[in-house]
Structure formats: structure tokens, C-alpha cells
Structure 1
Amino acid sequence: MNQTNYQLIDFLEFDPGFQQDEFLWKACFPTSIEERDGKIVVTIPFQRQLQAVDIQPDLDMPRKSYDLVISAYGEKILKLSIGFEKALTEESEMLQLDPQLVANPLTYEIITDQWIIKDQSEITRAIFDFSQPKIDYWSNLLPEPHETLKLSVFPDGKKEIKVSAFDQFFPARNDAMALAFVEKDGQPVRATFSLEANPDEVFVGTGERFSKMDLSGKTFQLKNQDGQGVNSRRTYKNIPFYLSSEGYGLFLHTSAYSKFSLADHSTRSAQLLVEYPELDVFLIGGDEPAEIIRGYQQLTGFPNMPPLWSFGIWMSRMTYFSADEVQTICDRLREEKYPCDVIHLDTGWFVTDWLCEWKFNPERFSDPASFISKLKADGYRVSLWQMPYIAKEALQHDEAVANNYIGPLLESREQGGSNFSALDYAGTIDFTYPKAVDWYKGLLKELLEMGVVCIKTDFGEEIHMDAQYHDMDPKLLNNLYALLYQKAAYEITEEVAGEGIVWARAGWAGCQRYPLHWGGDAACSWDGMAGSLKGGLHLGLSGFGFWSHDVPGFHGVPDFMNSVISDELYVRWTQFGVFSSHIRYHGTSKREPYEYPNIANTVRNWWDLRYALIPYILQEGEKATHTGMPVLRALIFHHQDDRQCWHIDDLYYFGDDFLVAPVMNDRGIRDVYLPEGDWVNFFTGEEQMGGKWLKGFKTELHDMPVWVRKGASIPYYPNRVNCTDDMDLSKTIKLEINQSFKGIWKVLNIQ
């Protein structure tokens, strides 16, 4: 074990032997304050510490001072920024400020032992405290408390959040730093900032986290990588934002590798560390989680609304290899009355499987435009897989190298074969270079002009770190890459196809603007299903309004490509998909429902239900574009005062009115928590009062534990369709959840 339990070494990543030229500099009492253009600038001196696990000031070294800039946006967002010999980042691709979010000028006043910062409404937004601790002196066994920064912030003008000033055992043994930076070889290289954490405080968010709902007691590395499933600490979508049960959110505005330690290294503190000599932190207040997340979206952008057809069924597997194969599958789905809107072609539409060249195989897809047009006439849209890496064997390789469209590698090395890794290819498309962006858009434009409607922007969570990029260091680009990549694909799709959409795996702050995102390569197992849901709930708590997952999981276990999927898993995951914002079947083996004859009719019924619910899903999707509410929601969105709901990660709200409890075992039994309210079972019509657990709730395979709010009015489509092209939404009617409601199967006349 390498853990030392010294904060300096374990969290701040110092060399345990102190053999490197690294020093910690801690913030001390501020020395000056002034107002500049509505912002407050506070000069903070930093004292270098001795190189030891006992953190003590090196009084022989002069202090260094840096300016902490405090600014306010609207009435509920406060920004703290400090650059350690780096110019502060004012704009970035991550930010897309809502025009309604205007700067709120700040002023200050100085009173005894305090600097008080107020906004133009005279509401206190921050306080610097200079008071001395109360001392009853009787011993000199240990030194006096060290000088430190004492700061309270009030993002919404009401809730006080304190910087973690005295998280210590004795003054030289610290478990968190209020504000500090690390200097290496004479240059600042990383920075840390901490807030006090309460004993029962809960943290959620941080991206697509495959963890329990309560993230307290965990430390997360905010570094995108191939998650290789949905059951590890790796994840495709790290988002530098968390939400606290104490009524605030924190957005660390950076693309640098970072860490959040949420009451873990110390249960008294929520800490962040960024591998860059700058801190740019937004603190967002609000009365409820949706308001806080909406504040985050006001900074980084709101989700756009996906097109109508995207809410239908997507059919795929890894992979289809020819136009004839695809046509046969599409024809059979129609013949057997399975409604479907999208057919997705994964890695096999190229000349060589996995060799991405953005060109159809001319032998197996002899006339792609005609092929796509014929499918469209039958109500099918075509989605295509591709990746942002160029292989040496690709048609575009020489052109890309000659024009620096891919970041040139700093050292020559051999290219390996595909094993799902970014580093198997010759280079990464450089989306920091405008000419490379235009070139990539041109590759997609040819496909979109044929009639393709969606590009699967797969991978993107990793890049070649041994390459030189046009406008960014690889360590800053790696996390941000997903945003630049998806933005380019989304923009050209919207321009050519008329509707913006991507199908994306990686993510970072701002990616929510370009829906939609799916959960990656889940195992075809009950734990794969459970991990997927955990990831989706946390992603919804990180600003993403739309999210999907592969039904019924992506890869087999233990045989990655060939393990047989059980009928129970296929149906239960289908049910989970029906009650997700989007539903796509995909994976390493057969996924078409008619390949599972014992349950084929059951699956058809669930697909019909999905299409009946599309008017409701559209309604809730529209809310996701401006309210902070995702379509698939953790219970805390509606029950923040119910402490149990901060710990539940296996059931969720689907929009405002549905409470969904997926069955994740082959016994059809689970415990269900019904929160406060009057509920009606969606499949039986049975009424149930909330505020209690239903232990050992049993449901047959053709049903699912789903409840609807009593008194809800659910828009639904009453007629069976082949695809969304058949829908005339003016014929939508309302399903009233009252005493006459006896279950949805009776309404739809499904046996």
C-alpha cells in the first residue's frame, strides 16, 4: 500500500521522499481589497512551507502575493478566481453564458475584523474574517495556530459556505488546505481549494459516476478515459461539477486534470486539486437541486432539443456488414410489426471493419444514397459509427499528416491493432485547429448529404498524449476534446440534415449542449444494468438532460462476443429503456427482438408502449432544455427534504409524473421506496400512499414496478404506428390518472 495518510502526499501528490524541488505555499490573511469594474480584488499573501509532512511555515522565505478576484452573476452565482503567475481564463469553450445571466456589481465595506462584500441589492455575498480564535493559554507544548485564509461565501445571499480554514489535528498536521498552490522548480504547477463539509452532507454529480448516489467519502480523478464498462471508477464522462445537500453547487472551470475529494481525505472538507496554476471556481446557490443545476447550465449551456424521430426505437448491433443484411432486418421488423425509427451501422460499413475512412464499402454498399433513401421511405433513419482517430492505412492519412489535421506525434512509434484504445491509431484529429475542424466536417458532410441523419461520435475520451496540437497542451486538451469533437459533428449535422444530434460517449463540461449521450460499454448483466442507471442518475445531476444506454448491455460475460443473453435480462433492460429519454439496442451479439422468440411478443408490447408515451417524453424533454430537470431524474429533484432520497440509486423519476423502479434480477422481486404522495400503479391501476417502503415487491415479466402521480394528466398517442413518421401529434390525447384508470395495458388494448 502506498497510502501515507498525510494530506500533503496523498492528496497534493508530493513525493513521499521529498526528493523533488516542490514546495507548498499556503494562503494567509489578505492584505488589501479594492473594487474594479464591479469585481472585488483581494490581495492574498502566500507563505512557503517547509518540506516535511508536518506543515510549517518557512519564515526565512518572503511571501508571494496574488490577487483573488470575486465576481457575481445574477443573484445566486459567485465566482472566485486566482491565477498563480497565469493570466485568468475569462472565456473558454466550456462557457456559454445565458444572456439573462448578467454581472451583478459588487462593493465592499471594512468593519472590525471583517471585510464584507455586498452586491448592488446590499445583500452580503462574502465575508473575510480576521478575528483571532479564543484562547485560554496554559501550555506551550505545541505551536499556536498558523495564519490562514478565513472566508465565508453566500452564493445565493442566504446560505453560508465556509472555506475550510482549520481542518487539522494540530497546526502542523493538516487534512485540508483552505487555499494553496504547489510550486515545482520555481514555478506554480497545481492549486487546491477546500470548503467545509458537514457530518451528514451528501454530494452527487461529478459526471457519469458509476457509484452510489451519495459520493461522500470518495475521491475522484477528473480525467476522462475509456471506462471499459460501467462498474469501475474509470468513466467516459467526468464533469467538474458537484451538487451538495447543503444547497449549493460547485463548478471548477478548467479542462486540466483535477481531483475532487468529497469528505474523503478528510470528512470535514470537500477539496479540489487542479493540475494547473489557476483556480476558477463558480459557487452556485439555489433553493432546490434543479435551480442549482439550471445555474450551472446558465454558465455552460442548456441542452438542445433532439428531433422527434430520435425518441423512437434505435436498432443496432456490433455490427451490420451489408446493405442486404440491413434491409432484411428492417423488412422483418416491419413485417412483424415492431415499430422502429433508426437503424444504426456500427464498425462494419467501411472497406475494412474498424478502419474508419468515412467511406461506404463499395462492394457491400454499392449505392449508399439509394440504400439510405429506400430506408427513409420506409420510415428508417440511418445513423453511422466513426471515431476521431486516423489509422496509417486510412485513405485520409497522408492528407491529414501533410496538413496537420492530426496532431503530429513527437516520436515515431509503431501502430498496433484495434483493442478499443485511442492509442492504436496513427493520430488524433486536432479540433483545436480550425482547418482540421472544417476538414472533418467535410468528411461528414458527404455522408449527411446522402441522407444520414446522425453520427455516432464514439471515443474521444482519450487522445494521443505524445502529440503536438495546434492550440492546446495535450494535458489541457484531453478532457476538453469531447466537447470540441461533438460540437463539430453536431454543427455539421444540424447544417446539412436540418436537425442537430450526435450519439456520443465521452463528456466534459458543456457537452450537454450537444445531445445525446449514452452510457458506454455496459456488460450484459444485472450489475451492468445497475451501473448504467447509477451513471445516468449522476449525469442528470451534472447538467445533462438526455441520456441513453445500450439495451440489453453491450458485451457478453464471460465471452465478450458470444455469451447468450437471457430472456429475463433482455425484457427487463427493455423496460428500463422504454422509460429512458432514448432507447437503442446495441451490442456484440444479436439484438433484434425476433431473435428471442419466447419473449418477442412481450417486447413488441413494450415497444408499442414506448411510442404511445412519446408525446409525454417530448413534453418532458422540452422541460430539460431550460429548467435544470433531466428527463431521467434522481429522486432528490422532487424530494430534497427526504433524506432517504439522497441515498437511492436504483429507482428514479421519468419526467414529472412517473416513478420507475427497474427490476435488476431474474426473480422479479425488489424493494421499492415510494416517496411522499399519492401513487397509482401504471400497470394495474392500484392506488398506493407514499412515504414508505414496499418490501419484496413482485412483478411478472410482462409488467414493471412503475407508478404515476395520482391526478396526473399524461399525453399519449392512442394509435399504433410503425415509426414517428406515422404520428400526427394533433391526435395526442390525455390519459387521466384517476379512479377510472385500470392500467395502461387495458388503455392500449394490449393483452
Structure 2
Amino acid sequence: MNEITKQVGNLDLIENWQSVANGVWKSEIGDMNSEKRYISLAAEAPRLDRINGLSPTSFPFENCMPSYQDKDGKITVRIPTEKDEHIYGFGLQFDGLKKNKTVLTLNTDHWGKGNGRTHAPVPFYISSRGYGVFFNTARFMKVYCQIGNRKDSQNNPLPVDRNPVSGTEPINPWQAVPQGDAVEAHIIGKGMELIIFGGTSMLDVIQRYNLYCGGGTLPPLWGLGFWHRVHATFDADQTEAELSEFNKKQFPLDVIGLEPGWMSSSYPCTFEWQTARFSDPFSFVERLRKQGVRLNLWINPYISPESGIYEKIYPYSGSHLVWLGLVPDYYMSQARQLLVQQHTKEHLKIGVSGYKVDEVDGYDFWLWPDHATFPSGTSGETMRQTYGLLMQELLYKDLFKQNNQRTYGNVRSSNGAASGYPFVIYSDSYNHKEYITGISSASLCGILWTPEIRNASSAREWLNRMQTVCFSSMAKLNAWATGLQPWSFSEVEDAVRQVIQLRMRLLPYIYSSFANYYFNGVPPIRAMILEDGGNTEIETRINSQLDSEANPYAMDKIIEKTDQFMFGPSIMVAPFYENQATERYVYLPPGKWYDFYSGQYAGSDTTLLVKSELLNDKIPLFVKDGALIPMLKQDVMNTEEVIGHDLEVRHYGVDDGTFQLYEDDGKSFDYQKGVYRVRTLSFTNQRLTETISKDDADSMFGSVSLKRMT
């Protein structure tokens, strides 16, 4: 390094770091006045008080500072890494968690099979060294993770002859992709903000990131029940007949979702009711609510000429159409106000509880071009990166929170700083293994993901997919095209009912886990790499052989183990899927683990074979030693039956344990004003005790009783 110029080669050191909270530092490069920051679209303000309550941590780059180049309207940032450092994250990536030796293009798009383009290309990564980096600028970004060796680096591996003479073979093998020593990120723009998060562990880093983005979302209780989206052409009578079948067959149901046919015109949309199918929407919604069922409406943002707000919103829309509909510029208050007024009148006032926001992700030929213009001055590129966030912000803040009513729904795209939004991402991709990987990758970047079930080629696949989705952020059957019901495969009808009922019984545990997400930033469902010892068996290397056509560089194949994840603080889930449809291997990290159903000891730091036949077609679940799992004592049909319901508190293993049971009204934002209740459940001296540690709301659940599982 040149000590006088403070440069590394042609890069300048980033030295203007500002400490904004315990373990959080930020720096601006270039001119940020004309750039959009993801953090400005967060649901809530940074939870600095919560961050400052975490363990102290030091700046992770004291000995080797990041550097940058700002030249010709382009900004490059270089974050130094160590040789044995592992890099994870960069959004909802279905091909794996680890991103060493990869090149990523972080553009909002449909899932792009591993090149970085995805529904939520969050420009945030975490390191095994215990830090995270957030590129807080809403631009397309190209990222080189330990790819590309600078000629002035002191850490490059020595060159190795690929074809040595016999007897002169090198000790170290030739590398098709030589080891790099940095993460380099590049944008075309005038400015970039970098935010560094320290931590005592990778989970600690994730907590700081989520809290800085306003904390995690706390859904309404009904949002965590079972969802069913009916066929796109269903009318009111067909929808209510479907609900009657749920009741008749004793399948729980909390939310009915209507697909595009509810609208007078869709693709583009009017947001107005199709009276030929729904002649009296108010009475229809009222009848559903009387049975404890909420209504969720499909929308996409593109406004039809037939819509009542078309003419008024026309001046506040972009230069290009999508599906021949206007693209409103929701950076403009006039556009937001027009949509909110229309949605309030047509939907909110008759009892609609939420939305599924579709078609805000890509492909290039379905969205506006990058050179499109918008009246707010926002570029087409930035609008694409943030449009899913804008829709979440508008619906959450201007529509529901304004009326002190919590919501839960779906969105097709998201991005940085989204942890506080009650919207769950879904996809048209339908690979079961990738769907399971998505559960873990979502937990690394502050978003929620549902591996929704739509169809299946067999009863076994139907059951396996249903089990997976019931242990995700949203338990949803999306039958918009198939018209299927949970009982459509009669061979597994009972097993499907059992797993849905199990999710319902676990609601006290799930709801409390989401409360921990809101207050402390801990993802309610998370990757195993965030657990102590959980990354011990994370990957397998397969040595490759030279093949002139298939593998001309003899590159080894790395297989990550991403098919297990944590559900809440204490339950590990290992779904059956694809070629592991009826039996699979499960790795149990260090620490005693117990079978959820029997309470029997399963092992520690070991791999075991589990078979669906021996589990009576149940999903494999394992529980930590000392865990307390609060559950409803009996099955319920929807979340309205949860209120006041007595709890069975299961204890597993031999260690003592505690659980913070969270309670509030389950539907309003009063909890943000301190109106909630916390019961501390403790198992010590072979008995269960209950302490009210906060008592500022009515109880949600009834009395508790202990059930020893071991």
C-alpha cells in the first residue's frame, strides 16, 4: 500500500466509517443525493435500542480496510476476505447458500438458475468470520465473490503448471478458478452506501441487520394458519362451497385467496369487483368472516384503461406499459393516494384482509425496459429493483397500518431492508429441493419465503410438499390453475390433515417465534449455518475427472446440504423430497437431539437414516435438549378457536429450559405501543413454572400444563 496516497493499486481506502450503533458502521462513496437507498423503504425505523443491547463487537476490518474506485459514473467496492472465509447470502438464491468463487448479477427477476437474478436479489452477505456487508443502493449490481485476482494482491496463489512433465507434479493442484481474496461489487451509479454489521456469530450479524431494517415482521395470528387459494375463475358460490368442504372434511382453514377472476378485468387490472361472479362482495366477505375465514385478493400493479382511477393516475405513471396497463410511480404521493383511496373503498371497508401482489419481478420482456422513465425522476433500473418493496410499503403503511389493522400476504419480489414487511415471497419455480433451499436462504437476508404447493405427480409428492409448506412462513395451497384441495390425493388425506393440524397446534410456538423476530431480529425459520455447530456437515466435495466436452477444466463439484432448517428456536425440520421421498439421511449437529413425536434420544453430531414408514408418514422433526414447545392441547379449525385455548407444554431431553410465550390481541399494531403480554415458562427441578414478565394485554392462550416427552 502507498502510505502517502492511501491507495491499494488504483483503489482508494474507505476510511470515513461512521459508527451508528453497537456493531454497525456505515460509509458513503460518491454522491448519494440522487440515489435510492433500500433502508429508506424499510417498514420501520432502525431499532437502535435493541441493537445496542446486543453483545459488543469490534470493526471487522481494522487491519485491512475495504477500498473503492469512483470513476466515469461507475463505482467499484472491494471488501477483503481471508482464504478460509465462507461467504453466504445475496438474497433468495435457490441454488445454495455459499457464494465463494461465484459471480452474481443482482437484478430483480424470476429465479435465474444461479446467476444472481432472482425474486429478491438482496445485496447483503454474511461471512463465517462474523460480519455482514449491506450495499444500500438500489441499483443493478455485479458481484465477484473471491473471483478475479488483482495483480497487486499479496495473497494470490502461486501459478501451477496444468500439464507438468512426469515426476515434476506440484504439491498443490492446478486451480481452474484461482482463489481470490476479496468480494468486489460494481454498480453504474453516482453513489453507494456501505453498511457493515459485526457480530459474535453469524446469527448475531443477522440480528443486527434485521433490527437495523426495523426488526422482523409480526404477522396477525390468522396469517399463520392454513391458506387456500381457489381456482382463478371461481365465483362466490364456488368459493363458499369449497369452504364447506373444508369444514365437512375437518381441514383447518384461515384464509381464502381469490385469484384474478375476482376482478372486472385483469392483466391489466381494474381492482374492481367482477359482479358477474361476485354480485354482493360485502355480504360474501361477511359470510366468510362469520366462519372465521379471512379474504386475500390477487392483484398486479398495472392499471387497465377500464379502471376508475386510470385517467387520474395517468400523469403519475411511467413511460412504458406492462400488459398494456399503466405502471404507477409510487414514489409520488399522488399515485399512492389514488390507489389507497380506491383500495380502501373497494376492499378494506368491506373486510378484505390482505393482498397477493403478483408480477413485480420480471422477465425483461414482461416489465418495463431499463431505459423507461418515471415522473419522479427514478430510473427504470431503480424502479425495477424497488417496485416490490414500494408495493409492500404502500399497502403496509398507507392502507393497513393507517387503520391499525395487521395484514399478511404475498409478493413476487422484494429486496434489501424488507424484514419488517408482512409479505411472503413465492415463485413459479417448482423444484422441491430448491424450494427447501429457499427457506434457508431467505433467513440470511430478512425476507420470508413460502414453498407453496400447487400440484403433484403422485400422492407421495403431494404429502411431502404439503409437509414442507406447513413448516414454512406461510402454509398455503395455491390451486389457482389446478383447482386441487388438500384431500385431492385420497391415499394421503389423513396424513395431510395431520400435518396441517400439527401446524395449528404449534401456533403458540410459531407466534412467539415471530415475536422474537420483531423484538430481537432472530429469523423464525432459519438456515442451519446460523446454529452452533450447524455448518459442520454443510457440504460435500466431489472430485471431478477431465472431460473434454462436459468438464474441460476438471472442476470439482460442491454439494451443499441445504435440506434441513430450524423452525423456531428448538425444532429442526428435515423434509422428504424428490429422490429422498420416503427415506433420507439427516445430520444432527453437536448437542443432544430428540425425536419430536416420541421424545426418544436421536443422537449428537451424527448422521442417521430416517424412513417415512417408521414415522407413519410424518415429516422428520428433531428437538434440542431442554426445549420447551408450547402447543394447543387439541386440534382447532381456525385461529379464532385458538383464543383462550389451554396449552400443553412439551419438554424434551434432560436439560432445564425456558420459553418466552408471547401474547397480544393478534390483529392490531397496539403491540408496538407496549400492549402485549409475556409469560416465561421454565422447566427446572423437574417441574414447570410460569412467570408473568410483562402483563400489559389480555392473555391469548389459556392455562398451561407440562408434558414430559423424555
TM-score range (shorter-chain normalised) is 0.7 to 0.9
Query: How many angstroms does 1:77 deviate by?
Result: 1.7
Q: Secondary structure at the match of 1:195?
A: strand
2:518 to 625, 629, 639: 625
In 1, are the aligned partners of 2:583 and 2:611 still within 8 Å (CA)? yes
TM-score normalised by L of structure 2: 0.77
- Summarize the alignment of residues 347-746 of structure 1 with structure 2, pairs less than 5 Å apart: 347-352=260-265, 354-401=267-314, 404-409=315-320, 423-446=322-345, 447-462=347-362, 463-465=367-369, 466-491=372-397, 492-496=399-403, 498-523=405-430, 528-544=431-447, 546-552=448-454, 565-587=457-479, 588-639=481-532, 642-645=535-538, 647-665=560-578, 667-695=581-609, 699=613, 702-729=617-644, 731-738=646-653
Q: Cα–Cα, structure 1 residues 158 and 223, in superposed 2: closer, same or farther, change >3 Å?
A: closer
**Separation of aligned partners in 1, 2:250 and 2:645:** 23
Cα offsets for 1:634-681 (capped at 9, x unmatched):
112222574334743110111111111011126411111100111111
Contact 2:487/2:496, CA 8 A, preserved across alignment: no
Q: Equivalent residue for 1:151?
A: none
Relative to structure 1, the CA distance from residue 340 to residue 231 in structure 2 (aligned partners, 3 Å threshold; closer, same or farther) is farther
Verify the 8 A CA contact 2:593 2:625 in the aligned structure 1.
Answer: yes
The answer to whether the 8 A contact 2:410-2:426 is kept is no
**Aligned equivalent of 2:657:** none
**Deviation of 1:566 (Å):** 1.5
Q: Does 1:341 align with 2:254?
A: yes
Cα 1:698–1:720, aligned 2, differ >3 Å: closer, same or farther?
A: closer
Establish whether residue 252 from structure 1 lines up as the match of residue 135 from structure 2.
yes
The within-5 A match list for 1:305-316 is: 305-316=218-229
Code of the residue aligned with 1:482 in structure 2: it is G
Report the CA distance shift for 1:653/1:71 in structure 2 as closer, same or farther (over 3 A).
same
Match for residue 101 of structure 2 among 200, 217, 229: 217
The 5 Å alignment of 1:52-451 reads: 69-83=16-30, 93-94=40-41, 97-98=45-46, 100=48, 156-157=58-59, 160=62, 162-163=64-65, 178-183=67-72, 189-227=73-111, 233-266=116-149, 267-352=180-265, 354-401=267-314, 404-409=315-320, 423-446=322-345, 447-451=347-351
Which residue identity does 1:199 align to in structure 2? K
Shift of 1:321: 2.1
Q: Is the 8 A contact 2:267 2:304 kept in 1?
A: no
Per-residue deviation at 1:397?
2.8
What amino acid maps onto 2:99 in structure 1?
Answer: L
Shift of 1:47: 9.1
How far is the alpha carbon of 1:332 from its aligned partner?
0.8
Kindly indicate whether the alpha-carbon contact (under 8 Å) linking 2:39 and 2:416 is maintained by their aligned counterparts in 1: no
Higher-Rg structure is 1
Deviation at 1:565, TM superposition (A): 3.1
Shift in Å, 1:717: 0.4
Distance 1:508 1:317, change over 3 A: same
After TM superposition, give the deviation of residue 328 of structure 1 in Å. 0.5
Q: Per chain length, whose mean CA-contact separation is higher, i.e. which structure has more relative contact order (CA < 8 Å, sep 6+)?
A: 2
Deviation digits for residues 410-442 of structure 1, max 9, x if unmatched? xxxxx7xxxxxxx32332111011010011111
Aligned AA for 2:513?
Answer: E
State the AA in 2 paired with 1:519: Y
C-alpha distance after superposition, 1:307-354 (max 9, x if no partner): 000110000144242001101100111011111000000111112454
Q: Distance in 2 between matches of 1:733 and 1:686?
A: 18
2:115, 2:76 → 1: CA distance? 26
Q: Compared with structure 1, are the counterparts of its residues 641 and 736 closer, same or farther at alpha carbon in structure 2 (3 Å cutoff)?
A: closer
Classify 1:590/1:30 alpha carbon distance in 2 versus 1 (closer, same or farther; 3 Å). farther
SS of the equivalent of 1:595 reads coil
Report the alpha carbon displacement of residue 575 of structure 1 after superposing the two structures with TM. Answer: 0.9
What stretches of structure 1 of length at least 5 have no aligned partner? 1-26, 32-43, 50-64, 105-122, 124-154, 165-177, 184-188, 410-414, 416-422, 554-563, 740-746
Read off the aligned partner of 2:338 and give its amino acid letter.
W
TM-score (norm 1): 0.73
Distance of 1:80 and 1:97 partners within structure 2? 19
Structure 1 residue 355 displacement after superposition: 4.2
- For 1:586, the aligned partner's letter is N
Q: 3-state DSSP class of the match of 1:207? A: coil
SS at match of 2:511: helix
- Deviation of residue 461 (structure 1)? 2.8
Distance 2:51 2:250 in 1: 56
Tell me if structure 2 keeps the 8 A contact 1:203–1:216.
Answer: yes
Q: Secondary structure at the match of 1:625?
A: helix
Equivalents in 1 of 2:127, 2:584: separation in Å?
Answer: 29
Contact 2:87–2:128 (CA<8 Å) still a contact in 1? yes
Aligned length: 593
Distance 1:319 1:85 in 2: 44
Q: Which residue identity does 2:585 align to in structure 1?
A: D
**SS of equivalent residue, structure 1 residue 290:** helix
- The 1-side partners of 2:37 and 2:122 are apart by 19
| Aligned equivalents of 2:340, 2:69: Cα separation in 1 | 43
Partner SS for 1:348: helix
Overall identity of the aligned pairs, in %:
22
Could you tell me which amino acid in structure 1 is paired with residue 420 of structure 2?
A: R
Q: Which residue of 2 aligns with 1:139?
A: none
2:148 & 2:441 partners in 1: Cα distance?
22
Residues 509-518 or 454-463, more deviating: 454-463
CA distance in 1, matches of 2:252, 2:561: 33
Aligned partner letter, 2:228 = M
Cα gap change, 1:673 to 1:297, in 2 (>3 Å): same
Deviation at 1:738, TM superposition (A): 4.5
Point out the more displaced range, 339-348 or 451-460: 451-460
Letter of the 2:384 partner, please give it: N
CA shift at 1:468, angstroms?
Answer: 2.4
CA contact under 8 A between 1:221 and 1:259: conserved in structure 2?
yes
Counterpart-to-counterpart distance in 2, 1:99 and 1:726: 34
Instruction: Give the structure 2 partner of residue 37 of structure 1.
Output: none
| Secondary structure at 1:693 match in 2 | strand
Q: Is the 8 A contact 1:284 1:292 kept in 2?
A: yes
* Secondary structure in structure 2 of the residue aligned to 1:734: strand
Once the 2 structures are TM-superposed, how far is the Cα of residue 70 of structure 1 from its aligned partner? Answer: 2.1
Give distance in 2, aligned partners of 1:622 and 1:398: 43
Matched residue type, 2:628: S
Residue 66 (structure 1) shift: 11
CA separation of 1:641 and 1:102: change in aligned 2, threshold 3 A: closer
8 Å contact kept, 1:493–1:501: no
